């Protein structure tokens, strides 16, 4: 029986690399219904279904695939939605290779690729958006209690949706002018079209959730005000503040954090300048520092803006690279140049303060460090310079302190993130819950959603027991 399963995933339509490097449209075009059913047939419906435990929110994967195979798309979507409020997003951006698909029984078989679970999830969610009739949920009422959610990234949106469904009055406060968190201002249009995020957010609004933008909690509203007005608070403010390596020359013109570069492009639409007002510099030779998803996004965005050469420098080797496999493949296809075992040590500028080059040093790998990966060590005397007119640092983020500085009672961990119980999101302050990147440090969309789900459950229990007492 196993022999009947095609070895490879059903191919999916993509924009050709030579075309797509000139536009910001989505790279992966998605399955047709026929292709999706063909792929669904590769699933064994295996009784152990390890994929389910590989999924951080435990989606009934064989269940939704079975319904898809039988062409019951509405039912398939219902199953997905009951576990995951943002399936069109997760299908596109989850690191499936290290989750569901990484443990799929088919993928374990010799010479076989796993079932393309992510692509199927995306298919079902997109199909529903264009065909399905939006299920009309009952509007929230304030009978069960009032909850304030700070931040509208995947963790906050999940808490809001789950609690609204349970009958709570939920207000989400977002600092930016639009909701969605990193889904809107970080992950580029060519991977996650903003119309899809907006669609998902609208469906959450329809549940009766009130989302107020332009509110920075800690500045516009204080935590005390929220504690007085709401029965519980969820903090999902993300890991928003960019880190810099602090190399000499960091403040030269043309040196960006990936956060700024991507926010200008995705959120402020500077790739459509001057139709949109926010400008961006266009680098001809661009060096991106780091090799995670953020670095891939930055280097591929630079190419689309018009870079002649877009390079990634990374102090470790290809093996340690943290990016999703799909993003790496796409970056390679698009001609991004990779410089492994290379670390920038200085940015060189001209007399007008514009960056002109990146001084780098070669690295070698030593003993494993705390992260279990081999520690990169500089090779003395191996310095060399890469000519560049733009540098984008994508070396990670830390917690944003705007809210935390105004809330000293809230206990933080050693790394400066909020200390919260991983099972419930409970923090050191009664009635205050937290989840997502502000607890774990920069992680993934699905982990943030999982934390949101757990917190919604715990908040419901907390408020219910308090009201009974």
Partner 1 sequence: MFEILEKERIAPKEYDMWINAPRVVNHVKPGQFVVIRTHKKGERIPLTVADFDRENGKIRLIFQAVGKTTYEMAAMKVGDSFSDVVGPLGTPSEIKKHGTVLMIGGGVGIAALFPIIRGLKQMGNKVITILGGRTSDLVIMKKECAEYSDEMIITTDDGSEGIKGVVTDGMKAVVNRGDHVDYAWAIGPTIMMKFSALTAKDLGIPIWVSLNPIMVDGTGMCGACRVTVNGNIKFACVDGPEFDGHGVSWDELMARLKQYKDQEKISLEKYLSEVGETSWL
Cβ 7 vs Cβ 113: under 8 Å: yes
List the single partner that 241 binds among partner 1, ligand SF4, ligand FAD, none, CB under 5 to 8 Å by kind: partner 1
Which neighbouring-strand residues pair with 393?
257, 289
Query: How many Cβ atoms are within 10 Å of 379's Cβ, its own excluded?
Result: 12
Tokens encoding 460? 């419901």
**Does 25 contact partner 1 by CB under 8 A?**
no
Q: Which residue, 248, 468, 241, 461, is CA-closest to 344?
A: 248
- Closer residue to ligand FAD in complex, CB, 215/429: 215
The end-to-end CA distance of the chain, in Å, is 59
Residues that bind ligand FAD (CB under 6 A): 93-94, 150-156, 173-176, 181-182, 186-187, 215-218, 236-238, 240, 262, 293-294, 297, 324, 400, 402-403, 436-438, 442-446, 448
* DSSP code, position 287: E
List the single partner that 115 binds among ligand FAD, ligand SF4, partner 1, none, CB under 5 to 8 Å by kind: ligand SF4
List the single partner that 415 binds among ligand FAD, partner 1, ligand SF4, none, CB under 5 to 8 Å by kind: none
Residues between 51 and 80 with contacts to ligand SF4, criterion CB under 6 A? 51, 61-62
Query: Where do we find the tokens 């007008």?
Result: 352
List the single partner that 62 binds among ligand SF4, ligand FAD, partner 1, none, CB under 5 to 8 Å by kind: ligand SF4
List the single partner that 445 binds among ligand SF4, ligand FAD, partner 1, none, CB under 5 to 8 Å by kind: ligand FAD
Residues between 203 and 262 with contacts to ligand SF4, criterion CB under 6 A? none
- Backbone phi, then psi, for 436, in 5-degree steps? 85, -160
- Contact mark string toward ligand SF4, 117..146, x via CB under 6 A: x-----------------------------
Shortest approach of partner 1 to residue 363 CB, angstroms? 24
Shortest approach of partner 1 to residue 460 CB, angstroms? 29
Shortest approach of ligand SF4 to residue 303 CB, angstroms? 34
Shortest approach of partner 1 to residue 225 CB, angstroms? 9
Tokens encoding 2? 């196993």
Q: Which residue, 280, 338, 329, is CA-closest to 309?
A: 338
Query: Where do we find the tokens 């007119």?
Result: 389
**Does 364 contact partner 1 by CB under 8 A?**
no
165 membership: H or E segment, kind and range: helix 154-165
* Measured CA distances, 99 to 13, 164, 217, 384, 392 (Å): 23, 29, 34, 39, 29
Tokens encoding 220? 């516009």
Tokens encoding 4? 């009947």
- Catalog residues that contact ligand SF4 under the rule CB under 6 A: 43-46, 49-51, 61-62, 104-106, 115, 117
């Amino acid at each position: 029986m196993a022999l009947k399963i095609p070895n490879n995933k059903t191919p999916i339509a993509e924009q050709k690399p030579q075309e797509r490097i000139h536009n910001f449209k989505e790279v992966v075009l998605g399955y047709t219904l026929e292709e999706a059913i063909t792929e669904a047939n590769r699933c064994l419906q295996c009784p152990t279904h390890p994929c389910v435990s590989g999924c951080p929110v435990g989606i009934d994967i064989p269940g939704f695939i079975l319904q898809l195979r039988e062409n019951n798309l509405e039912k398939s979507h219902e199953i997905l939605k009951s576990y995951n409020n943002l399936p069109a997003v997760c299908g596109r951006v989850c690191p499936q290779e290290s989750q569901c698909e990484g443990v799929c029984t088919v993928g374990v078989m010799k010479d076989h690729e796993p079932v393309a679970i992510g692509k199927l999830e995306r298919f079902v969610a997109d199909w529903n958006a264009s065909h399905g009739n939006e299920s009309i949920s009952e509007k929230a009422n304030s009978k069960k209690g009032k909850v304030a959610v700070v931040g509208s990234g995947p963790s906050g949106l999940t808490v809001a949706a789950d609690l609204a469904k349970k009958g709570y009055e939920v207000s989400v406060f977002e600092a930016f002018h639009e909701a969605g968190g990193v889904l809107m201002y970080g992950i580029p249009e060519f991977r996650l079209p903003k119309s899809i995020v907006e669609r998902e957010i609208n469906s959450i609004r329809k549940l009766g959730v009130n989302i107020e933008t332009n509110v920075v909690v800690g500045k516009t509203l204080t935590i005390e005000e929220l504690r007085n007005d709401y029965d519980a608070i969820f903090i999902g403010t993300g890991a928003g503040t960019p880190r810099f390596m602090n190399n000499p020359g960091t403040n030269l013109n043309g040196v960006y954090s990936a956060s700024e570069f991507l926010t200008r492009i995705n959120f402020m639409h500077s790739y459509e300048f001057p139709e949109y007002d926010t400008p961006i510099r266009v680098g001809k030779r661009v060096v991106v520092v780091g090799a995670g998803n953020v670095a891939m996004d930055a280097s591929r965005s630079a190419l689309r803006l018009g870079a002649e050469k877009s390079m990634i420098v990374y102090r470790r080797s290809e093996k340690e690279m943290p990016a999703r496999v799909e993003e790496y493949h796409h970056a390679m296809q698009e001609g991004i140049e990779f410089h492994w075992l290379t670390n920038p040590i200085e940015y060189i500028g001209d007399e007008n303060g514009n960056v002109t080059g990146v001084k780098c040093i070669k690295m070698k790998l030593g003993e494993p460090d705390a992260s279990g990966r081999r520690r990169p060590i500089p090779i003395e005397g191996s310095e060399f310079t890469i000519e560049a007119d733009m540098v984008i640092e994508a070396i990670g983020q830390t917690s944003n302190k705007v809210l935390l500085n105004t809330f000293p009672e809230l206990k933080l961990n050693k790394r400066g993130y909020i200390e919260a119980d991983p099972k419930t999101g409970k923090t050191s302050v009664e009635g205050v819950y937290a989840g997502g990147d502000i607890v774990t440090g920069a992680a993934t969309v699905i982990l943030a959603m999982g934390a949101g789900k757990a917190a919604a459950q715990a908040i419901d229990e907390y408020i219910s027991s308090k009201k009974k007492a």
